[in-house]
Each structure stands twice: as structure tokens, then as C-alpha cells.
């Protein structure tokens, strides 16, 4: 099946690379990303990449050099350079990034979904379905920076990185507890214990406060500190 609008793929690939190179902000990237319902590749890539940048504050690219996220972005741009049809089935687990959503959906079901995705194609080269197509595209477009996930080197973590990651995970665990605490207190208050409604409100306020800290503070990502120079 031919690509519905090749020009939109070219635009999307250019936006991805401009964002990675620090030429545009996250909002420029999100607002400019093209949409075309007849080309599932654009929707799938936008959906997957949306979880890897902050849509609250304005910022330039902050991905570490050759990190898993940067490689994913570059691989998506390379796929958009091609005229390949997007052949993956619906990968619903790409939407389950926030820990609360993971708990609601069930981590076991998410893990099963990832395993199923791996059985559908070579998940290490997503959005390509086959490694042969990925390698052919790399050779054709000279995209040496595009890498399969399995070939990524391990980035050493400093003591500061480990502390940041631990703090980030602690905050998200507290968020999860406050979220479910707010729900439990609300229902307990509704069924005849109105004093618990105040507790529900307190949990909700604390949850929002932690959400703001995660979004705006230095703990907003567990990634190492060797950030890309945003220019």
C-alpha cells in the first residue's frame, strides 16, 4: 500500500531531527508534527514519542548521547525517510508509561503485551518490522546513528545518577499511593463518612504537588545527567 502523503513523512522526519539537534523546542515539535489518518505510521510514531518529552514546560532536547530514547527517535526518523508501510499491530502498551496507568492495566498484562509484540516482528528495530528492512534503510540513507535497541551500549551511572533515579522512583511510588488513597477516601466519605472527603482532597493536592515536582524539577527524568547540549 503506498504512503498516503509522502510529504508529511518528510516533514515529520525533519521535525524529529530538528528537535534532536536542539533547533526547535518540544512545543514546536509537538505542534508541528503532521497527522494523517490514512498513514498509521505517523500516528504510531507520534503516540510512542509523545511520552519521551515534557509537554508542560518549554525546553529543548535533553536526551543523553546515544541513549535508548535518542536512538528510538532517530530510528523513527529513518523509518519516515522510507516508503515502507507500517506493519505492526496495535501496540496498546505504548500508552502505558505513567506508573498509575501501569498498575490499573496490570504490569503482568503489559509484560504479556510486550512479549506478544516481540513475536510479531523484530521489536528492537521498531517501527521497522524486520531487521532486514532496517539495515537496508540504514545503508540507503547513510544513517549510521540509527541503531537497534539490542546493540545499545550500557551507560555507566554515577552516584548522583543513582540518587536521582532513586528519588524519581520514590516520588512516583508516592504519587501512586496518593492517587489510590484519594479514590479510597472519596468513596469512604460518599458512603457515610464525610470527614474522609477532606482526606481525599488532601491526597489529591499532594498528588498534584508531586506531579508538578516531577514535571518541573530536576527529578523529572531518571536519565543520567550527561544531557545533550540544547544549543
pLDDT along the chain (231 residues), means of 10: 77 95 92 91 89 77 82 94 88 52 49 64 91 94 80 59 70 80 89 87 88 57 38 29
CA distance 33 to 57: 18
Spell out the residues 6+ positions from residue 40 whose beta carbon is closer than 8 angstroms to its own.
86
With vertex at residue 138, the alpha carbon angle to CA 133 and CA 141, rounded to the nearest 5 degrees, is: 115
pLDDT value at position 227? 36
pLDDT value at position 222? 43
Buried b (16+ CB within 10 A) or exposed e, 210-220: bbeebeeeebb
Residue 143 burial by Cβ neighbours in a 10 Å radius (0-12, 13-18, 19+): middle
Let me know: does 56 contact 95? Beta carbons within 8 Å. Answer: no
Q: How far is CA 189 from the centre of its chain?
A: 36
pLDDT value at position 58? 85
Backbone angles phi, psi at 89, to 5 degrees: -75, 180
pLDDT value at position 136? 95
DSSP state of 227: B
Amino acid at each position: 500500500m503506498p504512503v498516503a502523503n509522502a510529504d508529511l513523512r518528510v516533514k515529520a522526519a525533519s521535525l524529529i531531527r530538528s528537535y534532536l539537534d536542539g533547533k526547535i523546542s518540544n512545543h514546536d515539535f509537538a505542534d508541528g508534527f503532521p497527522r494523517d489518518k490514512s498513514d498509521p505510521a505517523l500516528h504510531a510514531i507520534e503516540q510512542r514519542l509523545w511520552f519521551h518529552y515534557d509537554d508542560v514546560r518549554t525546553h529543548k532536547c535533553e536526551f543523553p548521547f546515544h541513549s535508548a530514547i535518542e536512538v528510538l527517535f532517530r530510528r523513527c526518523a529513518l523509518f519516515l525517510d522510507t516508503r515502507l508501510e507500517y506493519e505492526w499491530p496495535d501496540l496498546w502498551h505504548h500508552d502505558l508509561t505513567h506508573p498509575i496507568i501501569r498498575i490499573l492495566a496490570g504490569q503482568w498484562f503489559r509484560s504479556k503485551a510486550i512479549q506478544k509484540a516481540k513475536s510479531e516482528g523484530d521489536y528492537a528495530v521498531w517501527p521497522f518490522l524486520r531487521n532486514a528492512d532496517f539495515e537496508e534503510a540504514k545503508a540507503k540513507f547513510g544513517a549510521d546513528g540509527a541503531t537497534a535497541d539490542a546493540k545499545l551500549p550500557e551507560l555507566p551511572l554515577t552516584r548522583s545518577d543513582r540518587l536521582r533515579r532513586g528519588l524519581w522512583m520514590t516520588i512516583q511510588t508516592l504519587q501512586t499511593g496518593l492517587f489510590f488513597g484519594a479514590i479510597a477516601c472519596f468513596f469512604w466519605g460518599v458512603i457515610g463518612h464525610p470527614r474522609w472527603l477532606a482526606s481525599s482532597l488532601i491526597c489529591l493536592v499532594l498528588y498534584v504537588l508531586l506531579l508538578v515536582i516531577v514535571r518541573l524539577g530536576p527529578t523529572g527524568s531518571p536519565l543520567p545527567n550527561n544531557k545533550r547540549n540544547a544549543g
